[in-house]
Structure 1
Amino acid sequence: MNKPKTLKTEPPKKVRIIGGTWRSRLLTVIDLHGLRPTTDRIRETLFNWLGQDLSGLRCLDLFAGTGALGFEAASRGASLVVLLEKDKKAHANLKANFSLLQSSPVSGSVEILQRDSLEFLRQQADQSSNLIFIDPPFQEAALLDRAVREAGRICDDSGGGGIYVEFPSNRPSEDIESLLPDWHCGKYLEAGQVKACLFRSGRG
């Protein structure tokens, strides 16, 4: 007699918070078109650039996805982290991940908004944030460009921070640099299909 076949369900994918209060805590990654969490390796490099203690920094995590960048910043002491995600399912997953993290509260505030990131940026005052993460779906090149330009107006990195931009490896980094004429790419990496720059201003 044949045994009934059981359907194998893939366990949900996870990413790990690397440092701070929530070190080693896991974030669930949902299966969603265009969702591409920043890898552990890239995040580790980024937060080595930024420093382990982000106390006092006001951060924006645009196109937040899993929230890996924003939650990492909150874990390391940022005073305010706003995570923006307009997709309903991704936003619900952000809230669920944050709810699980709340068993170990962080010192700063965390806000999770179901909002269009560009619309939100246009409403922000000049130099009102210190650290901005920009990592939209790679197929949305125009979205990335508009967000980067707005970030140049909004970001004040005088107390640390900067503008972090992740983009496809087939795009020249000079394209991104041209969007921020008053900033310079102080740190740069390439890993697989990803390029990333951390832009700093003369104030930083």
Structure 2
Amino acid sequence: MLRRTLIAGVIALFGLPAFAAPLPYTLGSDGATISYTFTVGGEKMVGTVPIASAALTIDATNLSASTAEVTADVRRARTGLIFATEALKSNSILAANDFPEARFQSTRVFLGNSGRIDDGAALEGLLTLRGVTRPVRFEAQMFRQPGTAAGDLRALNVLLRGSVNRRDFGADGYSELVDDTVQIEIKAHIETES
């Protein structure tokens, strides 16, 4: 009964027929941004890392069947300061030369309390960083483009927010200066040809 209620809520939000099929998505022309916030000596710093590739499938009538696989190029990670960027990519933190990519593979999707995606959702998956794989969870939101019809899912905006403990991945360098918790925010514009 609960599953049928959740599916009905998604159908109502998107205005989809019950037989709608999963749709493959790629990064749109507006691309995607991975931002991370960390604390150095009590001061917050923000950096970015570009997404190298993304393979996404969204099943609007059964979100639990949706999938995401995203790869980021940690060699191109940046902070606002050159010395902090170099320290970030060093062997004691990201080890970018030995592990040039970070990878996220989704494992489960949860809808918000109302059973509607616009009420928020959560995306669980496995993050591989420095060759270490750990489970992570992101709070997720997904929106149609402004001004589009309820059933128009050709272009969507996605927002993911979560945090990781860098020590869980062996990225424990400069622990006397840098806090262990790193906040992550991913903004993506995705499109499908369907």
TM-score (norm 2): 0.25
Which structure shows the higher helix fraction? 1
TM-score (norm 1): 0.25
Q: Relative CO higher for 1 or 2, CA cutoff 8 Å, sep ≥ 6?
A: 2
